[in-house]
Structure 1
């Protein structure tokens, strides 16, 4: 009887990929805080994860479909839409969520290892 790692691990590997991509996007926003005309972006994580759960979509396809420009709370004169406080908060929350997904995945691996070893 075979075992499917995809079924055993659930959505967590895809969630980690999406969280890593969101980290890249948010880091890019932070790096371009002082770039005139830079438009801050973010991804709709829930929509991307739903596409991953539905299956049949490549990781790049899911991310491209859900990346959107962020609407600033306060407009700047140089056209830059990055708001440092907002980006830092989103980055911190995403890091925490990444760690949570990683913990769930780690627990799944430990459970599989115990099952394989017969414990």
Structure 2
């Protein structure tokens, strides 16, 4: 059975995000694993209301920021994916890791 490790990176700092994802892709490819991506999602614009007091009513202008997302998939090479999962990333980059088990074609469930 093959494992696919899916990594999702999000940050408000596009330059840092692109550097982290680019460095990670180079690392995975140097180790000889198959890496797909990075795939970019549309930037997502967020607005957060800011209140002057704890009571509803008087507000400051909303705080607006953009979240950028990149996705990478590592196919097979479980030891490399495990190594990636233990890497340190900048605090400004949020990382989610999902592992999916792929069964060969024609495989029957018991």
| Superposition TM-score, scaled by structure 1 size | 0.25
Larger-gyration structure (1/2):
2
Structure ranking higher on relative contact order (CA contacts 8 Å, 6+ apart): 2
Higher helix share: 1
Q: Give TM-score scaled by structure 2 length.
A: 0.27
**Structure with the higher fraction of residues in strand conformation:** 2
